[in-house]
Amino acid sequence: MENQLNRADLKLALIMKHASTGLAEIDRSGKISSINLRGEELLKPILIAKNINGENFYTILNSIAPAISNKIKNFPAKAGNILANELHSFKLSFGEENVERHFNFTVTKIFSDCIIVDFDDITKNLLKEKAITELVAEKAVAQGKYEIASNVLHDIGNALVGFGSYINRIKRSLDHADPENLQKLNSFFSLQQPALRSIVGEAKAGAIVSMLSGISESQRKNKEEISKSITEQLNIINHIREMLHIQKQYLNGHSAFERKPVNLRAIINDCILMLYASMEKRQVCLSINVPDKLPDIQADRTRLMQVILNILKNSIEAIDINAEEKKITISVKIKQDLLSLLIADTGHGFDKLTGKELFTRGFTTKASGTGLGLSNCKAIIESHEGTIGIASDGFGKGTVTTIELKL
Write out pLDDT tens, residues 177-221. 666 666 666 676 677 767 666 676 777 766 766 776 777 677 777
Q: Please give the backbone phi and psi of residue 388, each rounded to the nearest 5 degrees, phi first.
A: -140, 135
74, amino acid identity: N
Burial of 254 (0-12, 13-18, 19+ CB in 10 A): exposed
> Is pLDDT at 300 greater than 80 in this prediction?
yes
Mean pLDDT over all residues of the chain? 81
CA atoms within 13 A on the CB side of 167: 19
Residues 6+ apart with CB under 8 A from 346: 319, 323, 325, 326, 327, 328, 398
Q: Choose the weakest-confidence range: 56-60, 200-204, 319-323, 391-395.
A: 200-204
Q: Which of 300, 302, 162 is nearest to 243 (CA)?
A: 302
260-406 CATH = 3.30.565.10
Residues 6+ apart with CB under 8 A from 236: 270, 273, 274
Contact 27, 20 (CB under 8 A): no
pLDDT score, position 59: 93
Contact 37, 15 (CB under 8 A): no
Higher pLDDT among residues 282 and 95, named by residue: 282
> Is pLDDT at 160 greater than 70 in this prediction?
no
CA distance linking residue 233 with residue 224, whole number of Å: 14
Contact 406, 337 (CB under 8 A): yes
pLDDT score, position 2: 46
User: pTM, whole model, 2 decimals?
Assistant: 0.46
Q: Look up residue 347 and give its DSSP letter.
A: S
User: Which pLDDT band, with edges at 50, 70 and 90, does 1 fall under?
Assistant: very low
User: Which pLDDT band, with edges at 50, 70 and 90, does 62 fall under?
Assistant: very high
Q: Please check whether the domain covering 2-121 is classified as CATH 1.10.443.10.
A: no
**Residue ranges of domains in the chain:** 2-121, 128-251, 260-406
Q: Choose the weakest-confidence range: 115-119, 324-328, 365-369, 374-378.
A: 365-369
User: What does the CA dihedral 297, 299, 300, 305 come to, rounded to 10 degrees?
Assistant: -50
Q: CA 48 from chain center: how many Å?
A: 40
Contact 196, 208 (CB under 8 A): yes
Determine how β-strand 260-262 pairs with β-strand 297-299: antiparallel
CA distance linking residue 210 with residue 216, whole number of Å: 10
